[in-house]
């Protein structure tokens, strides 16, 4: 008999931390609203959900690490918006932050979800923050719920 591991989308009794950057806050506010909406609608205990604000996406990994290692949360959701400019800054930030989040999840042994947009234009970011392409904050929270439930079965 094959044993199948599959995470439900039930967020009851699951504790989440969200780390969000203030940079491009017009987008970030909408990603955060989407993430909180997803958590609440899937039954997460909102009084046990923590939101930590940081200045920019570069500051997300150290705070995500502290929260992930604290043992107070079942998953950490990272939200931010990186938009390409005229210099290579965007490329350095996006690859550094993405790698760091992957490493933090492995080190802390809990799901760390990457909901940081990496867009070429502000229009692409707006589309992903509640317009054409949905809300990536909502999607990141649903991924966090599923992964927290997968971890509970391992
Ligand atoms: N931070 C972002 O979150 N998004 C960006 O698009 C961005 N750009 O373009 O520069 C950005 N820069 C700030 C960076 O994350 C740090 O806060 C800063 O370098 C101080 O460490």
Q: Does ligand 1 have an atom closer than 6 angstroms to the CB of 83?
A: yes
Mean pLDDT of the chain: 97
Q: Are 16 and 49 spatial neighbours (Cβ–Cβ below 8 Å)?
A: yes
Catalytic-residue membership of 92:
no
Q: Which of 22, 23, 24 to mutate to test ligand 1, by most ligand atoms within 8 A of the CB atom?
A: 23
Which residues lie closer than 8 Å to 33 by C-beta, 6 or more apart? 130, 135, 137
pTM of the model: 0.97
Shortest-distance Cα residue to atom 17 of ligand 1: 56
Q: Which residues of the chain have pLDDT under 50?
A: none
Q: Does ligand 1 have an atom closer than 6 angstroms to the CB of 55?
A: yes
Structure confidence by residue, pLDDT tens digits, 67-107: 999 999 999 999 999 999 999 999 999 999 999 999 999 99
Q: Tell me which fold the domain 16-153 belongs to.
A: Rossmann fold (3.40.50)
């Amino acid at each position: 008999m094959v044993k199948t591991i599959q995470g439900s989308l039930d967020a009851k009794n699951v504790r989440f931390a969200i780390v969000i950057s203030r940079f491009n806050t017009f987008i970030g506010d909408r990603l955060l609203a989407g993430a909180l909406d997803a958590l609440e609608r899937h039954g997460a205990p909102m009084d046990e959900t923590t939101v930590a604000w940081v200045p920019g996406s570069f500051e997300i990994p150290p705070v995500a690490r502290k929260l992930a290692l604290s043992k107070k949360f079942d998953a950490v959701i990272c939200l931010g918006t990186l938009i390409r400019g005229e210099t290579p800054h965007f490329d350095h930030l996006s690859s550094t932050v993405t790698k760091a989040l992957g490493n933090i999840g492995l080190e802390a042994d809990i799901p760390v979800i990457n909901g940081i947009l990496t867009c070429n234009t502000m229009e692409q970011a707006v589309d992903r923050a509640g317009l054409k392409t949905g809300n990536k904050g909502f999607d990141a929270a649903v991924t966090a719920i599923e992964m927290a439930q997968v971890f509970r079965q391992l």
